[in-house]
Amino acid sequence: EKFLPKTSAPFSTNSYDAFISPNTLNLSSFTKLMKKLQEIHPEASRDRIVDALLEVRKNNKGILSGLSINSIVQRTSVIL
């Protein structure tokens, strides 16, 4: 009884993390990607770049993992 809440909390956190991680970039990659795209497209707002990245993800079966940063930059630049 006493251990049930302790074991259920990490399990649900791990399940959630496992669920979202294939569809997200890690923060370091995202930061590099945003910096590179802002350098290439200084006229584009951060929100516009994020919208373009989401479109790239949508066009790639809902995921960005498996694509190189250069490939993501190229695809996003076409949209921008």
User: Could you read off the pLDDT of 8-29 as tens digits, one per residue?
Assistant: 444 434 344 444 444 455 678 8
Does position 37 have pLDDT exceeding 80, yes or no? Answer: yes
Q: Token digits for 43?
A: 């006229």
pLDDT, residue 1, reads 44
Give dist(CA 60, CA 54) in Å, integer: 10
Q: Could you tell me which of 44, 50, 53 has the C-alpha nearest to residue 72?
A: 53
Residue 75 contacts by C-beta under 8 Å, 6 or more apart in sequence?
56, 59, 60, 67
Whether residue 34 contacts residue 49, with contact meaning beta carbons closer than 8 Å, is answered with: yes
Portion of the chain with pLDDT greater than 70, in percent: 68
| pLDDT score for 23 | 46
